[in-house]
Amino acid sequence: MMFSQGCALGSSAALLQLFKEPGRPLPFKAAIFICAGVPLQIMEKVGYEIAPQVWGKDLETRKALAAQADASAILSQGSARWGAGNVYSAPEADIRAEIEPSDVVINVPTVHVYGAKDPRSSAGIQLSQACDPTKRKMYDHGGGHEIPRTAVVTNDIAALVRWALLEGGASP
């Protein structure tokens, strides 16, 4: 289970292993990515085609997140800092179309949790492009760049974690 840049780190390690040692299984049976960062340079290195506009959007959304997540924004606005909406949002299909798949695919069950109000929500969808579409689940928690805390969302995510673990071979 990873959050934000931890997702970029974990997925980078997985993609590089799969690229360098295609027959070797990953050291984990499932992955949970929450508010994921996306390793665009690694994805490009292992064969993904990244549309030119993605690089600029990546930088813009990083800056937007930094502004919304810094200490002064947290102290002055609290959770309301995510309330303005996400000017960088787009339909999932449009975001997926910006990255052409590669033969290097994270082949364990994955859960991708993102928030519609997170300026980096597209990064979570982009990262899911590097995961087997038959073994991935997407979930919008509706918030910003944060670990969701409502009972409904927590229960939904718990169910998705159970799904990933069972799909990955864990005992019930």
Report pLDDT digits (tens) over 101-148.
Answer: 999 999 999 999 999 888 899 999 999 999 999 999 999 998 888 888
Is there a domain that residue 10 lies in? yes
In this prediction, residue 75 has a pLDDT band, given cuts at 50, 70 and 90, of low
The label of the residue with tokens 């030119």 reads 52
Is there a domain that residue 172 lies in? no
Q: How many domains is the chain partitioned into structurally?
A: 1
Is there a domain that residue 35 lies in? yes
Is there a domain that residue 75 lies in? yes
Pairing mode, if any, of strands 31-34 and 49-50? unpaired
Is there a domain that residue 7 lies in? yes
Min mean pLDDT across 44-58, 67-81, 103-117 is at 67-81
pLDDT score recorded for residue 154: 96
The CA distances from residue 120 to 22, 39, 68, 166, 171, in Å, are: 30, 13, 11, 29, 34
**Distance between CA 152 and CA 31 in Å, rounded?**
21
Is there a domain that residue 95 lies in? yes
Is there a domain that residue 59 lies in? yes
Q: Which domain holds residue 65?
A: 2-167
Q: What's the rounded mean pLDDT across residues 43-61?
A: 95
What's this model's pTM, rounded to 2 decimal places?
0.89
Is there a domain that residue 39 lies in? yes
